[in-house]
Amino acid sequence: MSDDNQEALHAARESGYTAGRYFSDTQRLREVLRSLAGLAPDEDPLVKLGRAVAQRREIVAALREVCEAYGDNDWPDDAYLPDVIEKHLGQHLDEKAEEAEDG
């Protein structure tokens, strides 16, 4: 076998090994995520994660509208949502309630 053929065979084996390793690692990652999330064996954690990300985007958009009307929007999109509700909405609502009681 010529050197070129040996190199091509070696490259093909390496490529196959890398693809197999990637598949194996991906399957292990799915199993770890499934276990951490308490999912059933037939539930795909990546699909669940995708849904959670989409849902968070919707929640942030809705919260931005409410904060625009009743609080402030001085927070990043990746902020911890309970903090956003407390600091950027709740405090403003509390202040407005106190003003209404005083006024």
Give the DSSP letter of residue 88.
I
Question: Same structural domain for residues 97 and 62?
Answer: yes
Question: Same structural domain for residues 32 and 3?
Answer: yes
Which residue is it, tokens 């625009």? 68
Closest Cα partner for 45 from 24, 61, 31, 59? 31
d(CA 73, CA 18): 46
Neighbours of 84 (CB within 10 A): 23
Q: In the predicted model, what is the mean pLDDT of residues 52-63?
A: 96
Domain coverage including residue 6: 1-40
Q: How many domains does the chain fold into?
A: 2
Question: Same structural domain for residues 36 and 53?
Answer: no
pLDDT in tens, 90-101: 999 999 888 888
Question: Same structural domain for residues 76 and 100?
Answer: yes
Q: Which two tokens stand for residue 6?
A: 């040996």
- pLDDT at position 79 is 97
d(CA 30, CA 34): 6
pLDDT in tens, 6-50: 777 677 788 777 878 888 888 888 888 888 878 887 888 888 889
Q: What is the pTM of this model?
A: 0.63
Question: Same structural domain for residues 103 and 75?
Answer: yes
More confident residue, 20 or 64: 64
Question: Same structural domain for residues 60 and 97?
Answer: yes
Neighbours of 70 (CB within 10 A): 13
